[in-house]
Amino acid sequence: MVLSSFSLSLLALAGSALGADLPSIQMKGSKFFYPNGTQFFFKGIAYQQQTGAAGSTPSNSSYIDPLADTTRCKADVPNLVALKTNAIRVYAIDPTKDHSTCMKLLSDNGIYVVADLGEPSLSINRDDPSWDTDLFARYKKVVDEMAKYTNTIGFFAGNEVSNANNNTGASAYVKAATRDTKAYIKSKNYRWMGVGYAANDDKPIRDQIASYFNCGPTEASIDFFGYNIYSWCGSSNFEDSGYNRLMEFFKDYSVPMFFAEYGCNLPKGAASRTFDETTALYVDNMTEVVSGGIVYEYFQETNDYGLVKLDSDGSISKMTDFAALEKKISAVNPKGVNIDSYNPTSKAKSCPSVSSTWQANAALPPTPNESACECMFKAAACVPASSLEADEYGRIFSFVCGSDSSLCSGINGNTTTGKYGAYSMCSSRQKLAYVLDAYYKKNKNAATACDFKGSAATQSASGSRSSCDKITSSNSTSSDGNSSSSLGVTGAPLTRVGGSALGIYLVAALFGVAIVVS
């Protein structure tokens, strides 16, 4: 689509009016504020192609970075401005690409950004969760890239990771990611950028999730809670939609809560959306509790939530619900409080108890430490062969851990007890080196014990495991600020190997337990 001279004039006018970079958003208690003390409410749009239903990522590992496509940004910002957008949510960016043009264009038009930290092939998997060196490296790169721009509000450490009783343990890994990302931002002396979590509205666990990510010390808890909620469909109301229950639960929440996705498309798809919930979202009783919301989504996809349709030639056509949202969002005028007159008293929630319906202990997985993992790898006498592909790791883990589960204790984790092996935070390849070396030494360094049909090889060990253990023990902290146990423990999840859920299926094989995977 070619921008009209009128659209370009609007952008130029907005840029000259705002001039310098947008002032960074601040947080106090359960609310967001501009630096001048005015309360900030999200009037947002989810802005990324191929995000999949409710923000889940597609099975394909490729993705389109919406902030690196300057042509697309220039074409879409006028539409975002027409929808009174002051924030967008992006689900995956490539931190190696240049985002300066799009971020400047957004800034010049008063638009902030909240970015998810993961990407399709590297994120916390609910069925085989892990918080390791590879994933932490990805998160840090995204933070470093987005910290350049004053219109970055913050990040989501996870999106709808736990969505059923049987995968609530995965939340421990997301909370560990939250803790470590917050610590990284602080260590780099960056300005405040929040780290939050986006949850969907799963009735059996929704209150437990909101409590778990809010409980404990602020160093490990979220800075904001994003609610992906689609319960207001058509001409609903506060009672039928459950908004009244939501307001009751969150009225004393200690950090900001906003709708990270909303915009039900039932019963007749995107074209039938009237956005009555947009009006409801910004009325006085709602704004006391909810800091606005982000409409799902800008681009029309197969799930039928789009506001615009992107044609093969790159042109954009507005869908029927674009006008409906434009009308409703233009009419809202949320009344907030001034930061100086706001004195929050709410305290963090209590952590939910571990039970048959909640499997995440308050004690969290250790912080990924590349130095400790690399030390361990170099100290191993038997390691994966350089030619070994990641999809081959599973058979070796299965054999070694199946023959003697104690050999894998240092890489295992148990979310219900809160006990994690010292090297459970290493990459899959590093974990495999740990397992291979343990097996090799158990078999008295027999040549046949470090072969696995050419999948393993001996190396000249450098250093000692004991010195590596000291690094891990000084590095590991739990959610309560104490040193977390590095005792060897057995239980799911074990390790992430490529896209396979090795830990779940291996534990089932070892102990004969039934595993239900949603």
Dist. CA 311–CA 318, nearest whole Å: 11
What value does the mean pLDDT take over residues 385-396?
94
Residue from 147, 129, 214 nearest 178 by CA: 214
The residue type at 118: G
pLDDT number for residue 15: 42
pLDDT surpasses 70 at 340: yes
pLDDT number for residue 57: 42
Q: Are 349 and 215 in contact (CB under 8 A)?
A: yes
Burial zone of 395 (CB within 10 Å; 0-12 exposed, 13-18 middle, 19+ buried): middle
Dist. CA 347–CA 275, nearest whole Å: 33
pLDDT number for residue 491: 36
pLDDT number for residue 12: 41
Q: Are 259 and 293 in contact (CB under 8 A)?
A: yes
Dist. CA 6–CA 80, nearest whole Å: 15
What value does the mean pLDDT take over residues 139-158?
98
Give the CA angle between residues 85, 89, 95 to the nearest 5°. 130
Confidence of residue 99 (pLDDT cuts 50, 70, 90): very high
Return the percentage of the chain with pLDDT > 90, whole number.
Answer: 81
Q: Are 486 and 422 in contact (CB under 8 A)?
A: yes
3-state class (DSSP) for residue 176? helix
What value does the mean pLDDT take over residues 106-114?
98
pLDDT number for residue 505: 33
Q: Which of 119, 239, 248, 261 is catalytic?
A: 261
Concerning whether 261 is annotated as a catalytic residue, the answer is yes
What value does the mean pLDDT take over residues 477-497?
39
Biggest CA–CA distance in the chain, Å, is 78
Q: pLDDT by residue (tens digit) across 3-12?
A: 444 344 444 4
| Backbone angles phi and psi of 26, in degrees to 5 | -115, 165
Query: 370-474: what CATH class?
Result: mainly alpha
Q: CA quadruple 114, 137, 473, 396: dihedral positive or negative?
A: positive
How many other C-beta atoms lie within 10 A of the C-beta of residue 351? 21
Q: Which residue has the tokens 């004053």?
A: 150
Q: Are 400 and 449 in contact (CB under 8 A)?
A: no
What value does the mean pLDDT take over residues 233-243?
95
What value does the mean pLDDT take over residues 267-289?
96
Q: pLDDT by residue (tens digit) across 50-76?
A: 864 333 444 567 899 999 999 999 999
pLDDT number for residue 513: 32
Which residues have a Cβ under 8 Å from the Cβ of 126 and sit 6 or more positions away? 161, 162, 163, 167, 170, 518
Q: Which of 119, 145, 160, 297 is catalytic?
A: 160
Q: 26-341 adopts what CATH topology?
A: TIM Barrel (3.20.20)
- Concatenate the DSSP letters of all residues of 109-138 into one string: TT-EEEEES-BTTBS--TTS----HHHHHH
pLDDT number for residue 21: 86
pLDDT surpasses 70 at 483: no
Radius of gyration of the chain (CA): 24
Confidence of residue 267 (pLDDT cuts 50, 70, 90): very high
Helical pair 393-403 and 428-442, crossing angle rounded to 10 deg: 40
Q: pLDDT by residue (tens digit) across 430-480?
A: 999 999 999 999 999 999 999 999 999 999 999 888 899 988 865 554 444
pLDDT number for residue 51: 63
What value does the mean pLDDT take over residues 15-23?
62
Evaluate the omega torsion of the peptide bond into residue 267 and state whether it is cis, within 30 degrees of 0.
Answer: yes
pLDDT number for residue 515: 31
Concerning whether 160 is annotated as a catalytic residue, the answer is yes
Return the percentage of the chain with pLDDT > 70, whole number.
Answer: 86
> CA 143 → CA 148, 302, 364, distances in Å?
9, 31, 22
Q: Which of 329-343, 482-496, 497-511 has the highest average model confidence (pLDDT)?
A: 329-343
pLDDT surpasses 60 at 261: yes
Token reading at 51: 């995000």
3-state class (DSSP) for residue 451? coil
* Mean pLDDT estimate for the chain: 88
**Common-topology check for domains 26-341 and 370-474:** no
The H or E element that residue 508 is part of is helix 502-511
Helical pair 170-187 and 133-146, crossing angle rounded to 10 deg: 50
Going from N- to C-terminal start, the domains of the chain cover: 26-341, 370-474
What value does the mean pLDDT take over residues 306-329?
96
